[in-house]
């Protein structure tokens, strides 16, 4: 069975269940799974504390004028060049 098929089957089963105990057990299992939030505690948006720290640090650098920012066109060009390399 493929991973994607298994995910879909589990989602369908969770959507159909009315067993609150089962739902709480699944929620606890997902919260305790280190593979689902490597690098820190995962928030509802899928980002870990480590991700937030990196973004905050880069934002502070940007505010101090130390960080580098790019336009969308620059990013697109960098991606194209990286893809060719």
* Three-state SS sequence of 7-72: HHHHHHHHHHCCCHHHHHHHHHHHHHCHHHHCCCCECCCCCEHHHHHHHHHHHHHHHCCCCCCCCH
Q: Of 43, 61, 63, 65, which Cα lies nearest the Cα of 52?
A: 43
pLDDT tens digit sequence for 46-75: 778 889 899 899 889 888 988 788 899 999
pLDDT given at position 41: 54
Rounded to 5 degrees, φ, ψ at 19 are -80, 100
pLDDT at 30: 84
How far apart CA 85 and CA 78 sit, in angstroms, is: 11
pLDDT digits (tens, 9 = 90+) for 5-55: 898 999 999 999 898 988 889 888 888 876 654 445 555 667 788 898 998
pLDDT of residue 78: 94
């Amino acid at each position: 069975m493929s991973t994607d098929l298994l995910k879909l089957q589990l989602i369908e089963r969770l959507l159909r269940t009315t067993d609150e105990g089962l739902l709480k057990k699944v929620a606890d299992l997902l919260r305790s799974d280190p593979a689902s939030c490597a690098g820190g505690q995962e928030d509802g948006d899928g980002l870990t504390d480590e991700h937030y720290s990196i973004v905050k640090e880069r934002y502070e650098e940007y505010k101090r004028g130390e960080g580098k920012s790019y336009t969308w066109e620059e990013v697109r060009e960098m991606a194209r060049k990286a893809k060719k390399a």
